[in-house]
Amino acid sequence: MQDTPLIELSQVTVRYGDPDSGTLALTQTSLRIDRGDFVALVGPSGCGKSTILKLVAGLLTASSGGVLLNGREANCKGIGIGLAFQNPTMMPWLTIRENIMIPLKIVEPYRGQYARKKKGEFAEKADAMLARVGLAGFGDKRPWELSGGMLQRASLCRALIHEPQLLLLDEPFGALDSFTREELWDILQQLWMDTGSTVLLVTHDLREAAYLANRVCVMSSRPGRILEDCPVPFPRPRSEETTYQPECVSLIHSLRKQIADARAGEPTQENA
């Protein structure tokens, strides 16, 4: 018997706004993600990638079809979820350490212990995470004192500090220069390998998808659905060099072609 997947979308439809005439964002979308997997969602702009993340996070309800998390209907409280987006929103009046500790203030079982532990154990946990991402000593700084890349590192710490089972990432490195982005791929890969979290990553960067993911799911143009589910078989840990190996280059070309076909509304052919 197969284990219950952590995420299961079955024949999901999402229509925003008016139930008859609103924007149809997703149709017949099915996706299964097992615990510990790392899945990248790619596809034409506006095809519904972020909509899938919102469904999984319990921030949006499907118009029809099923969205199960750990076998139960998805809602914000079902399992621990970490979130990181393209532009990390930090509270400017808090230090970086305090920003990172925000999930501990909100999520049980940490919430009940927050008042007692925020100056001791929790602060040490935040500092240890900052050190993991190369930001040792930055805990007392305010957000405006950090660069975009540093803020994105801190935002990864905040997404992971409550040890979530699931990490949802929406173009987290999209706004960064390519060197910083590649450094953060390495950091994210290490964090994923160490924590065993399940990751669902939305990205427009196909090299990023091939570097990080175990599977890349290619979506059709809006209304979106999953067209192809491409395994990424390269051994771990991967490095920037991995993305220049012929097998990886050919995978990236194939993904690019599938998305170009999807944008043109043509049927895709795997590895064409």
Ligand X SMILES: Nc1ncnc2c1ncn2[C@@H]1O[C@H](COP(=O)(O)OP(=O)(O)OP(=O)(O)O)[C@@H](O)[C@H]1O
Return residues touching ligand X (CB under 6 A): 16-17, 23, 25, 45-51, 222
HSE-CB of 261 using CA atoms within 13 angstroms: 17
For the CB of residue 132, give the shortest distance to ligand X in the complex, in Å.
29
Q: Which is nearer to ligand X, 11 or 113 (CB)?
A: 11
For the CB of residue 23, give the shortest distance to ligand X in the complex, in Å.
4
For the CB of residue 183, give the shortest distance to ligand X in the complex, in Å.
23
Q: Closest by alpha carbon to 157, among 144, 176, 138, 182?
A: 138
* d(C-alpha 14, C-alpha 26), whole Å: 5
Q: Which is nearer to ligand X, 17 or 237 (CB)?
A: 17
* d(C-alpha 57, C-alpha 39), whole Å: 15
Q: Which is nearer to ligand X, 56 or 96 (CB)?
A: 56
Phi and psi at residue 264, to the nearest 5°: -80, -5
For the CB of residue 122, give the shortest distance to ligand X in the complex, in Å.
33
Q: Which is nearer to ligand X, 41 or 123 (CB)?
A: 41
* d(C-alpha 181, C-alpha 161), whole Å: 21
For the CB of residue 16, give the shortest distance to ligand X in the complex, in Å.
3
For the CB of residue 11, give the shortest distance to ligand X in the complex, in Å.
18
Q: Which is nearer to ligand X, 50 or 180 (CB)?
A: 50
For the CB of residue 168, give the shortest distance to ligand X in the complex, in Å.
12
Q: Which is nearer to ligand X, 127 or 170 (CB)?
A: 170
* d(C-alpha 244, C-alpha 210), whole Å: 11
Q: Which is nearer to ligand X, 51 or 95 (CB)?
A: 51
